Structure 1
Amino acid sequence: MHKIKIILVDDEELFRKGIFFLLQREENIEIIFEASNGDELMNFLKENNNHPDIILMDLKMPLLNGVEATKLIRNDFPEIKIIALTSYNTDSFISNMIKIGASSYLLKNASPAEMISTINQVFENGFYYNETVFEIINRQNISNFKPKSQYVDIILTVREREVLELICQQMSTAEIAERLFISSRTVEGHRNNLLLKTEAKNVAGLVVFAIQNNIVLIE
């Protein structure tokens, strides 16, 4: 069983330790580092080859906050997924974190079950947005994720649209393959083509592109 490698970043030690003790009980999760600010996090990433799959990132921290740290990680370590973990739940905070590349947005008053589910979803599918986040994406102009969306010459094949729609339903590669009767490798090929055509940086960017170009509709 592959363990999901996690880094916890939060300047509130009591809260951080609580999350640590919660997650260490999960058989498929391994906490590889804790940081109290973005500087400590970036130093660890630069000095160690043991990188996490996911970072649980607080936003308001001293020295280097979670927003700026997320920007740096997206540029320097794009394979690492960020879950914003914060008490701020305004549209502007959420849309900004999605804009700069967060794979999910989780409030600190979420239940333990919701946190664990979010981690597993992000690890499996590359992102996890709840209904609130989807609605905000639909309302906001998150332009950094759709650099080509204003052009009508982005042509997606029928199959690419099908894959994109299923990605937006938060299906895994295996689930999409089973639904469309194709191999997982073929699904990955379509996903890579979608990333190239849309210039999205990650799967989360594909979801924003799909919503804001009416490829999928949010009720």
Structure 2
Amino acid sequence: MKTISIAIADDEALFRKGMSLILNDYEHLNVTLEAENGVDLLEKLLQCETIPDVLLLDLKMPEMNGVEVAKIIQKKYPSLKMIVISTHFSRAFIINMIELSAVAYLPKNSQPDEVVETIEAVYEKGFHYNTEVLGIIRENIISKKKPKALFSTDLTNREKEVLQLICEQYTAPEIAEKLFISARTVDGHRNNLLSKLDCKNVAGLVVFVLQNELLDIPLLPKNRH
């Protein structure tokens, strides 16, 4: 696996430094940026020659909290994949951050192995929602009872197959193997889906599918091991 560059934004120095030590112990993970709040994070991102692949983001920080900085990152750094790690593991916070393009959400007492697995999954697939988070997304959509969105372009059978496997949290190489096509072709179908369904990222595809009941998505994500 290619080396994954990681930024950490958290006002707790002990957590920030401890997480850096844990992650840097893996050959394919490299913490390249540490910030103590949202203002510090944005200043350091401006100085980066290369934007990190993944951001571990706390929500409760002084000066500029995680929610405020996420709004800016969503617009200014759309390629930076935000993983929220917070003590605030409630339905309202989870839904709010997913609407701000967070591609994963973990409680702060998560095991290190789970954090590493989430980083890897987000890097490989673009998002990673565990059973609890996926259930909260589904419940929120049902409770809002939004009318089904209308889109002008029908999906091809192949695009539906790719979309189903994306929602089941398979990687592009895994989808390619299952459908006997190349990974490049999978990327092409994924880009077409993003365009047709007007979604910013693959996490948005999952939310769109749930909201519009396009496909049957299992609540339990695929076991990657």
TM-score (norm 2): 0.91
Give yes or no for contact 1:211–1:218 (8 Å, CA) kept in 2: no
Give yes or no for contact 2:95–2:137 (8 Å, CA) kept in 1: yes
Letter in 2 for 1:88: H
Runs of 4+ in 1 over 3 A off after TM superposition: none
Larger mean CA deviation between 71-80 and 43-52 belongs to: 43-52
Q: How does 1:62-211 map to 2 (within 5 A)?
A: 62-141=62-141, 150-151=149-150, 153-211=152-210
Instruction: Give the fraction of aligned pairs with identical amino acids, expressed as a percent.
Output: 47
Letter in 2 for 1:2: K
Post-superposition offset of 1:218: 4.2
The equivalent of 2:222 in structure 1 is none
The answer to whether the aligner puts 1:47 opposite 2:47 as a matched pair is yes
Post-superposition offset of 1:45: 1.3
Q: Deviations 1:156-182 (Å, cap 9, x if unpaired)?
A: 111111101100111111000000011
Q: Deviations 1:75-118 (Å, cap 9, x if unpaired)?
A: 11111100001011111111111111001001111111111100
Letter in 1 for 2:83: I
Letter in 1 for 2:98: I
Give yes or no for contact 2:168–2:218 (8 Å, CA) kept in 1: no
SS class of match (2:89) = coil
Give yes or no for contact 1:5–1:32 (8 Å, CA) kept in 2: yes
Post-superposition offset of 1:141: 3.5
Post-superposition offset of 1:64: 1.0
The answer to whether the aligner puts 1:28 opposite 2:28 as a matched pair is yes
SS class of match (2:55) = strand
TM-score (norm 1): 0.93
Could you tell me how far apart the structure 1 residues matched to 2:2 and 2:117 are? 16
Could you tell me how far apart the structure 2 residues matched to 1:211 and 1:159 are? 19
List alignment gaps of at least 5 residues for structure 2: 220-225
The equivalent of 1:213 in structure 2 is 212
Give yes or no for contact 1:149–1:198 (8 Å, CA) kept in 2: no
CA RMSD, Structure 1 to Structure 2 (Å): 1.7
List alignment gaps of at least 5 residues for structure 1: 143-147
